[in-house]
Amino acid sequence: MRKPYLPPRIFQQRRQKLASLIPGAAVVLPAWPEYIRNYDGHFPYRQESNMLYLAGFDEPGSCLIFRPGLKPETVMFVRPKNIERETWDGFRYGVDGAKQEFGFDEVYSIDDFEKVAPKLLKDCQKVYYSLYRNHEFDEIFGRVLTQVKWLNPRAGLGFLPVEDAYGLLGEMRIRKSEEEIDMLRRAGSVSARAHIEVMKATKPNGSERALHGLFIKSIMEQGAQGEAYTGIFAGGNNACTLHYRFNEDKLNDGDLFLVDAGAEYMFYSGDITRTFPVNGKFTAPQRRIYQAMLDLQLKLIGMIRPGLPHGRLQEETVKGVTEIMLEEKLISGTLEDCIRERTYAKYYPHGVSHLLGLDTHDAGALLVGGKMREMEPGWCFTIEPGIYIPANDTTAPKELRGIGIRIEDDVMCTNDGAEVLTHEVPKSVGEMEAIIGQA
């Protein structure tokens, strides 16, 4: 029999914290639907992250209604037990199992949702629900709201007000608990060790796809559920495609190899990028630009502290990469003009950091009231400066064409600085050259 991935008390504590933020309101969180990959084969199922955060329940065909201060307060709807379907598709908790294992106040079959949910919501002042993210459930939710209205026909209140649950829960999820930090550390460690295995196995004429497979093998042997996102294994000019995912080419002697890949451990994401030479030795131009990018990344990590506006990282990155581009004669003009006119964006088009947690690009607002949000202890995020010079860019110096470099680590803001959660994987020139191709 399967068990909750964390003790149910952790989810109960999160719901108690949420209760203080939404008196008189309810939260409705449906599971993600299952999706067909092709014909009758499904994509591997991954639960919606807010459902995981508040309930810890990872089955499809479920929905949580949380009504602080009302009885029953925590109501879960799940797929009923069905031995025949379990023979084909695997274990289901069912109504009784979900109540026993997770400690919900009440559990119903998902088949009864439209009958029961209106009665649960009719005494609430508003409901938090994320519209337009789960289109299949939006229709069901709309019918429930209509029934709620008719359960109070003379109140003159109209439809129950709806606010977005994503922002509400993002505000909770942005500050990681000790349990979450432990899992992010583990996700970072598992990811780092798999990156090392890829480095050791990288050689000229090797395969992007084979090394992608090696990464997956390594993380799953270490207990990960799988990838946190589809890995990028990009040799040579392929690294200049930011979300390159074909992973089908051979690796060429003299090229760089960019690997952006992470493990999902207990639903929490690792996210690491390393760039290194296929043959184990940087050329002089490759080394020059790589070292400049590494120096910038280390400077950014050194800036992290409570109270620093998160957006300052991007400002410093733009300044740093623009200086590198001017030094390498990729662009021309003054530093100030190139920043103001965004000339740098030709070779650096993305942001340097995103929040990290249950989602690789995790929930939480970084801009509030038009102002940059200041970092707090317990924030976890990436630091990932990069530069990408396409092989067909005839305006770039010839020796730089086809170079794509990104260096990414996962970090946590602490009381006095930063903890690098992915420190186990090397990134200095000497450390990487010492292990590339040594498998």
Catalytic positions: 40, 243, 260, 271, 350, 354, 361, 384, 388, 406, 408
The rounded distance, in Å, linking the Cα atoms of 207 and 121 is 55
Q: Kind and range of the H or E element at 8?
A: helix 8-19
Q: How many CB atoms lie within 10 A of CB 312?
A: 15
Q: Per the structure block, which two tokens stand in for 377?
A: 């202890």
Q: Give CA angle at 278 (272, 283), nearest 5°.
A: 105
Long-range contacts of 433-437 (CB under 8 A, 24+ apart): 433/276, 433/277, 433/280, 433/281, 433/282, 435/196, 435/199, 435/200, 436/199, 436/200, 436/202, 436/276, 436/277, 436/278, 436/279, 436/280, 437/200, 437/201, 437/202, 437/203, 437/279, 437/280
Q: Check: CB of residue 355 under 8 Å from CB of residue 364.
A: yes
Measured CA to CA, the distance from residue 291 to residue 276 in angstroms comes to: 11
End-to-end Cα distance, the chain = 39
* Contact between 294 and 407 (Cβ < 8 Å): yes
Write the DSSP symbol of residue 167.
H
